[in-house]
Amino acid sequence: MPTALPRVAWIGLGVMGSPMSEHLIKAGYPVTGHTLEAHKLDRLAAAGGTPAATVAEAVRGADVIVTMLPADPHVEAVSYGDDGVLAHARPGALLIDMSTVAPRTSIALAEAAQAGGKGVRVLDAPVSGGEAGAVEGVLSVMVGGAEADFAAAEPLLGTFGTTVARCGGHGAGQTVKAANQLIVAVTLQACAEAVVLLEKSGADLATALDVLGGGLAGSAVLSRKRHNFLTREYAPGFRLDLHHKDMGIVLDAARAVGAALPLGSAAATLVASARARGDGGLDHSALLRGVELLSGTAS
């Protein structure tokens, strides 16, 4: 007899969480989900999942609990307290937090779970790849936690991740995600500056970006955001508001270990500036708007 797939509780059905949970359902996992928006629960039901009205209802009896939430306060609110995940998780359940939060938040959650006496195991497993990666099931998943718990979670994570790796103990996944967001922010800013340089110099932008993409300057950032740069369309695949939050995590993590981030600090300032101008709801490729403003080409 084939072994039954673990029962999954999924908390947080946003831009990333909805398609990720749907990959699990398609792979045969029984998924019960909870989120605050009724239409997203309807989407889960239409995909074959089971909606839950509360966190407690979703978590009750689950073998694996996945949280995919916007920021540290949301993870803490869902995890702790009488109505939280830790209060209602069954003994021995595996809690996988896939939100992007500070490493210290993930470490504190793992410690609280251990202290709870139920033997709830915790992994931090943030992802990279944005909405497109979630929809296509090609995310990169960076995991922190015990090796045995990672081994148990790896098949599940592989339903929506093509690169799934344990990076170390608790908090390590979040540290790698912080490094990812640092690289993405700096690369986006460099691409934006290159776009303005090319256009002000009279080069054909589409051709130039194709050439750059085929050389050492090529990157996933450049290929995925090429359309945005060419059209100045910034429908959010990953909002500047969220990248602003993530850059706060980057700088906090760097301070904690004494790492100097000269370019990272500058990129964080530019992201904050874009948000202050009202661009927080746009895709993070809208950093181009700031370069255009500085260069006198903003429309």
Per-residue pLDDT tens over the stretch 218-269: 999 999 999 999 999 999 989 999 999 999 999 999 999 999 999 999 999 9
Do 80 and 160 sit in the same domain of this protein? yes
CA 255/CA 116 separation, integer angstroms? 30
Residue 3: the pLDDT is 72
Query: Which residue is it, tokens 């640092």?
Result: 182
- Residue 1 domain-assigned (yes or no): no
Output the pTM of the full model: 0.93
CA 242/CA 230 separation, integer angstroms? 23
Residue 237: the pLDDT is 85
Do 31 and 137 sit in the same domain of this protein? yes
Residue 251: the pLDDT is 97
- Sign of the dihedral defined by the CA atoms of residues 15, 180, 265, 70, in that order: positive
Query: Domain boundary residue among 169, 201, 219?
Result: 169
* Whether residue 23 has pLDDT greater than 50: yes
Do 119 and 264 sit in the same domain of this protein? no
Residue 1: the pLDDT is 47
Residue 271: the pLDDT is 98
- Number of other residues whose CB lies within 10 A of the CB of residue 129: 24
The one-letter amino acid code at 115 reads A
- Predicted confidence (pLDDT) per residue in 203-217, tens digit: 999 999 999 999 999
Query: Domain boundary residue among 140, 169, 198?
Result: 169
Residue 158: the pLDDT is 98
Query: Domain boundary residue among 146, 169, 192?
Result: 169
Residue 139: the pLDDT is 97
Q: Is 248 left (phi over 0), alpha (psi -120 to 50) or beta?
A: alpha
* Cα distances (angstroms) measured from residue 20 to each of 94, 220, 242: 17, 20, 18
38 exposure class (CB count in 10 Å sphere: 0-12, 13-18, 19+): exposed
CA 280/CA 145 separation, integer angstroms? 32
- Predicted confidence (pLDDT) per residue in 269-287, tens digit: 999 999 999 999 999 999 9
Q: What is the mean pLDDT of residues 88-106?
A: 97
- Predicted confidence (pLDDT) per residue in 49-62, tens digit: 999 999 999 999 99
Please give the positions annotated as active site: 177
Q: What is the mean pLDDT of residues 41-46?
A: 98
Whole-number percent of the chain with pLDDT over 90: 95
195 or 130, which is more confident?
A: 195
Residue 2: the pLDDT is 58
Do 190 and 117 sit in the same domain of this protein? no
Do 122 and 180 sit in the same domain of this protein? no
Do 59 and 154 sit in the same domain of this protein? yes
- Answer yes or no: are the C-beta atoms of 65 and 7 closer than 8 Å: no
Q: Is 202 left (phi over 0), alpha (psi -120 to 50) or beta?
A: left
Domain of residue 226, residue span:
176-295
Q: What is the mean pLDDT of residues 105-110?
A: 97
Do 32 and 104 sit in the same domain of this protein? yes
Q: How many domains does the chain have?
A: 2
